[in-house]
């Protein structure tokens, strides 16, 4: 360990001076306030659909499911989309120690600040998101959708939805622009958009393969229609332009989750072009 410290310490000390190396930018250069374009997740503008990705924190048990957010970003990038990432500037419901799966009573965190970890710092307050500036919106899952974007984790069918999340869903829906949601996030659409069709996968646990199957009944209680789909599939509500996929509502291999989110993204981009 002493050898490791001896090797690493000089590099950390050098980095802390923020001195630029030949051909490299400084680690933390001073820069002017970013333009709207600078907030986009990508260094170069693209001609594709402009998609808003809405996060709920960072970490499956109290925020956004990172694999789902990453899969959405990869598929959006391959689809030529121009992505801007948003999150509400609100406190998390609580903080979960992910090594124990238990609340950390002494901690409090902010949803926007935590979501910035996934966005590599390029993030905007959800209050600034307008459907007029985007062609589609996508909501990854993770318990943050049920804890920070809504109170579904506590109140079930009697939940309330964050005011900006509700506004965004209604704006995109009214404008006829597609909305994608995965994992537990479809409950947001079920609560806000009456009569919408969504999927969270299967309606029976099937020996633990679908541990959150009971969510389907809550969706029905919210007045929405639940459609049974496999983990690699996406359901498209053509009338409401809402696309959903089960993602981690299913206990399965990661590549199946990735493929299902890819199907959702592809359908969202297809609807955005119409």
State both tokens at 2.
């002493």
Question: Is there a catalytic annotation at residue 250?
Answer: no
User: Which letter, b or e, does each residue of 131-166 get, where b requires 16 or more Cβ atoms within 10 Å of its Cβ?
Assistant: beebbbbbbbbbbbbbbbbbbbbeebeebebbebbb
Q: Are strands 123-125 and 242-245 parallel, antiparallel or unpaired?
A: unpaired
Going across the sheet that includes 136-139, the strands are 123-125, 82-87, 50-54, 136-139, 179-182, 242-245, 235-237
Rg (CA), the chain: 20
Residue tagged active-site, from 58, 159, 182, 183: 183
User: Sign of the C-alpha dihedral, residues 185, 191, 196, 199?
Assistant: positive
Cβ count near 48 (within 10 Å): 17
State both tokens at 157.
């069918």
Q: Tell me how far CA of residue 74 lies from CA of 13, 36, 71, 103, 128, in angstroms.
A: 35, 22, 5, 31, 24
The three-state DSSP-derived secondary structure of 118-157 is HCCCCEEEHHHCCHHHCCEEEECCCCHHHHCCECHHHHHH
Residue tagged 């001195």 (tokens): 19
| Relative orientation angle of helices 111-118 and 66-78, to the nearest 10 degrees | 50
Any idea which residues carry the catalytic annotation? 183
């Amino acid at each position: 360990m002493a050898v490791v410290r001896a090797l690493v310490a000089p590099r950390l000390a050098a980095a802390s001076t923020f001195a630029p190396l030949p051909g490299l930018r400084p680690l933390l250069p001073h820069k002017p306030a970013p333009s709207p374009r600078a907030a986009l997740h990508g260094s170069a503008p693209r001609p594709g659909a402009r998609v808003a990705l809405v996060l709920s924190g960072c970490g499956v048990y109290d925020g956004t499911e990172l694999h789902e957010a990453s899969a959405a970003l990869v598929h959006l990038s391959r689809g030529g989309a121009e992505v801007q990432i948003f999150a509400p500037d609100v406190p998390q419901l609580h903080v979960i120690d992910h090594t124990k799966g238990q609340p950390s009573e002494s901690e409090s965190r902010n949803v926007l600040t935590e979501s910035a970890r996934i966005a590599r710092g390029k993030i905007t307050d959800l209050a600034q998101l307008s459907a007029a500036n985007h062609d589609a919106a996508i909501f990854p899952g993770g318990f943050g959708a049920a804890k920070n974007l809504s109170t579904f984790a506590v109140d079930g069918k009697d939940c309330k939805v964050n005011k900006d999340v509700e506004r965004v869903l209604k704006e995109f829906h009214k404008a006829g622009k597609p909305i994608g949601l995965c994992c537990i996030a479809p409950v947001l659409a079920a609560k806000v958009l009456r009569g919408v069709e969504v999927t969270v996968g299967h309606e029976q646990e099937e020996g633990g393969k679908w541990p959150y199957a009971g969510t389907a009944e809550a969706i029905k209680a919210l007045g929405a229609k639940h459609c049974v789909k496999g983990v690699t599939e996406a359901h498209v509500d053509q009338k409401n332009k809402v696309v959903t996929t089960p993602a981690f509502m299913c206990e399965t291999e990661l590549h199946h989750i990735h493929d299902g989110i890819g199907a959702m993204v592809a359908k969202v981009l297809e609807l955005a072009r119409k």
